[in-house]
Amino acid sequence: MKLFLFFLCLYPVFLFAELSILLSPDTWDLGTISDTKVHRQTLKIKNLLSYPVKLTHAITSCSCNAIMELPPLLNPGEEKEFFVTLNPAGKMGRYLWEMNLYTDSKDIPMLTLPIRAYVLKDTLVSENPLHIKPFFKGDAWEKKFWIASRHKPDFQIFSAECNIPGFIIETTKSPVEGFYGVEQGYTLRLSCEPGIAPGSKKGEILVKTDLVGQEMVSIPVFAYVNGYIQTIPAYLAFGMMNPGKSYRKVFRVSHNQIQQAFQIKEIKCSIPEVQTKLKVLIENHFYEIEVTWAISQDMIHGEQRGYLELITDVAKEPVIKLPLQGIVFGKQ
């Protein structure tokens, strides 16, 4: 019995000896926080080894974390302080980050500080700007986000519009998710028409409100629409063109899903002087189209714009439009 009590008394000593470099606190738990405040925590580190230890560097799992005033050297028995900061701007939701401190000790080469937080938005828009994942023309999708104001929870949205052709924005007064100190606001849903033209999309959503100083809220939008049929290049620029001469460009056409067969049934052009010639490179899969633009002597000078129409047998993309542009020197 006495022997048992003796070892029981020594157990904390053995346990303490295993923790040869002490980090306190050993976890930084911030609880629920807003995304607009930078947080700072003081940490203590103590060397219980019998030899000096250098703290060589630190690596964090997120750029929102940073270490300040990390002591370069700890002598045996020495304790020093340093600081850790967290800037959760742009974050929303529950997070677990790690900050790893590296030493020159073979016994304790690394110490890990877990950082926990539940981040809520304290800004007007839950996501700004909006980045839409690339999608295929005709695919159904929806991007949902929220607008809420902690300073005026009962604010009104009078209108919301998206200036990207083919994009649709809808607003509904509703409970909101992920906001700090507010539970009511508006849900906004962004989608697009099935027939939207392929290509890169860039614009903004304009929201008209009764918030003082924020009567018009601008939310940038970035998206990319994949067509089932792709042309390389996607735009034919002929540059400067002189009357009495012909100019030639070549582009290629293929299916975005290489294994899918398709046919080009017809080619039309909005400019009468433009002629086209279709060449099959790989039957039912890969085509080359030669475009010749003949500039007449009496053509009016200035910029000329038009487009080619490729008529295909692809049900989801029966018509592909390829823009043409050139500048003609000629009569005033």
Is residue 331's pLDDT more than 60? no
Taking the C-alpha atoms of residue 261 and residue 216, their distance in angstroms, rounded to an integer, is 48
**Same domain assignment for residues 21 and 116:** yes
**Same domain assignment for residues 116 and 21:** yes
pLDDT at residue number 19: 53
CATH, residue 201: 2.60.40.10
Q: How many residues does the chain have?
A: 332
Strands 229-232 and 216-226: unpaired
**Domain-located, residue 144:** yes
The amino acid sitting at 22 is L
pLDDT digits 0-9 by tens, 259-295: 889 999 999 999 999 999 999 999 999 999 999 999 9
Q: What is the domain range of residue 234?
A: 229-328
Is residue 196's pLDDT more than 80? yes
**Same domain assignment for residues 101 and 190:** no
**Domain-located, residue 1:** no
**Same domain assignment for residues 233 and 317:** yes
The token pair at 67 is: 């270490």
Domain count, the chain: 3
pTM equals 0.55
**Same domain assignment for residues 99 and 177:** no
**Same domain assignment for residues 62 and 22:** yes
Is residue 94's pLDDT more than 90? no
Q: Which of 172, 193, 226 is the last residue of a domain?
A: 226
220, HSE (Cβ side, Cα atoms, 13 Å): 5
pLDDT digits 0-9 by tens, 180-192: 777 788 999 999 9
Which of the four pLDDT bands, split at 50, 70 and 90, describes residue 330?
A: low
Taking the C-alpha atoms of residue 127 and residue 135, their distance in angstroms, rounded to an integer, is 19
Share of the chain above pLDDT 90, in %: 49
Q: Is 45 exposed, middle or buried (CB count within 10 Å of its CB: 0-12, 13-18, 19+)?
A: buried
**Domain-located, residue 2:** no
Q: Is 261 exposed, middle or buried (CB count within 10 Å of its CB: 0-12, 13-18, 19+)?
A: exposed
**Same domain assignment for residues 81 and 38:** yes
Taking the C-alpha atoms of residue 298 and residue 21, their distance in angstroms, rounded to an integer, is 87
**Domain-located, residue 221:** yes
Helix (H, G, I), strand (E, B) or coil at 18: helix
Is residue 15's pLDDT more than 50? no
Q: Which of 100, 120, 140 is the last residue of a domain?
A: 120
**Domain-located, residue 203:** yes
Is residue 238's pLDDT more than 80? yes
pLDDT digits 0-9 by tens, 49-80: 999 999 998 888 888 888 888 888 999 999 99
Looking at per-residue confidence, does 313 or 12 come out higher? 313
What's the whole-number average pLDDT of the chain?
86
**Domain-located, residue 6:** no
pLDDT digits 0-9 by tens, 200-219: 899 999 999 998 888 999 99
